Amino acid sequence: MSARAPFLRIEKMSMRFGGLTAVDNVSFEVSRGDIAALIGPNGAGKTTVFNCITGFYKPTSGRISMAPDGALPDPAAIDALTRSGRRHRDGLYLLERMPDHEIARAARVARTFQNIRLFAGMTALENLVVAQHQPLMRASGWSLLGLAGAPSFRHAERAAVARARDWLARIDLLARADDPAGALPYGDQRRLEIARAMCLGPQLLCLDEPAAGLNPRESADLNRLLRAIRDEFGVSILLIEHDMSVVMEISDHVVVLDYGRKIADGKPEHVRADPSVIAAYLGVPDEEVAAAEREIGA
């Protein structure tokens, strides 16, 4: 198994809302250890793709296969799982069949939101402890051992707090651990939301516009944080971003959407030079519009 083998594959995925096709027949892959960027003009369907991968929407058609702990098997094995009607087998998951919380828990895909969704009335520390709900819930014996104050639960809770403390130190928020998340400055909230997603112990981290509203210094900090997540924790990242300096600097792989269709897919320098990407972002030259109008007789 090579280090850069694909472990998330989206195949011919479409999402329609009534008559509107938000995502149209999109396919791409994310490899283990990659930082992949999903870019495109406003309304291109980027967040819809995210919501389909993380289970918040069920795609109208298409397949999303994920192998959180290894690489995707050959297509025949994925087809066999699809035919079997099951959600997962041997570490291979079909995300379009799973509810959102199961995708987070079993397929180990964590996400953040475009408009930050922290638990505003809970402290920064509490936010990170809630993210470790699954292991803590097991350790608390579905609350029975916890109610009895069992030492095994105390131990698990200490471990959870230690992990939260590590993340708070990493994002420079240790001093504000006991402050409510809603009272933190915007940039801190963005970092805290990423740390909370990381406390799930994911294999894939989906970030929806992590650099939105950050100043250049915070943006540079974010780039460092994302690289550290990939290099130290081996977590792959899929991100939506408008800030091209972030995209071009840190991503290994860029997918470009426009009007719900994929128009380019490749390395950042390759995508940057693609005429269809330039057209999507900057519009097409006037003479081409004129030629098209002549063709349809307008």
Total residues at interface with other proteins (CB under 8 A): 45
Rank residues 122 and 278 by Cβ distance to other proteins and give the closer one.
Answer: 122
Phi, psi torsion values for 253, nearest 5 degrees = -160, 130
State whether the Cα torsion 185-188-190-195 is positive or negative. Answer: negative
Contact between 129 and other proteins by CB under 8 A: the answer reads yes
Rank residues 151 and 297 by Cβ distance to other proteins and give the closer one.
Answer: 151
Q: What token pair was written down for 26?
A: 């999109």
Q: Near other proteins by CB under 8 A, which window of 27-35, 81-89, 142-150, 215-223?
A: 142-150
Contact between 8 and other proteins by CB under 8 A: the answer reads no
Element spanning 266, H or E: strand 261-266
Using DSSP, state whether 5 is helix, strand or coil: coil
Q: How far is the CB of 109 from other proteins (least distance, A)?
A: 9
Residues 6+ apart with CB under 8 A from 135: 156, 160
Contact between 104 and other proteins by CB under 8 A: the answer reads yes
Residue-wise DSSP of 138-193: HHTTTTHHHHTT-HHHHHHHHHHHHHHHHHHHHTT-GGGTTSBGGGS-HHHHHHHH
Contact between 151 and other proteins by CB under 8 A: the answer reads no
212 touches 10 (CB < 8 A): no
Number of other CB atoms surrounding residue 160 within 10 Å = 21
Q: Kindly tell me which residue out of 110, 198, 211, 238 binds other proteins, with binding defined by CB under 8 A.
A: 110
- The rounded distance, in Å, linking the Cα atoms of 29 and 11 is 9
- The rounded distance, in Å, linking the Cα atoms of 191 and 274 is 32
Q: Kindly tell me which residue out of 47, 140, 223, 236 binds other proteins, with binding defined by CB under 8 A.
A: 140
- The rounded distance, in Å, linking the Cα atoms of 156 and 128 is 14
Q: Near other proteins by CB under 8 A, which window of 63-71, 100-108, 245-253, 266-274?
A: 100-108
Q: Kindly tell me which residue out of 89, 117, 224, 270 binds other proteins, with binding defined by CB under 8 A.
A: 117
Contact between 54 and other proteins by CB under 8 A: the answer reads yes
Q: Near other proteins by CB under 8 A, which window of 66-74, 95-103, 212-220, 253-261?
A: 95-103
Rank residues 103 and 256 by Cβ distance to other proteins and give the closer one.
Answer: 103
Site string for other proteins, 55-84 (x = CB under 8 A): -x----------------------------
Q: Kindly tell me which residue out of 130, 150, 159, 212 binds other proteins, with binding defined by CB under 8 A.
A: 130
What is the 8-class DSSP label of residue 294? Answer: H
Distances (CA, A) of 134 to 94, 95, 102, 194, 220: 21, 19, 11, 18, 33
Q: How far is the CB of 253 from other proteins (least distance, A)?
A: 23
Contact between 102 and other proteins by CB under 8 A: the answer reads yes
Binding positions for other proteins, rule: CB under 8 A: 54, 56, 100-102, 104-105, 110-113, 117-123, 125-126, 129-131, 133-134, 136-137, 140, 142-143, 146-147, 157, 161, 165, 174, 177-180, 182-183, 196-197, 200
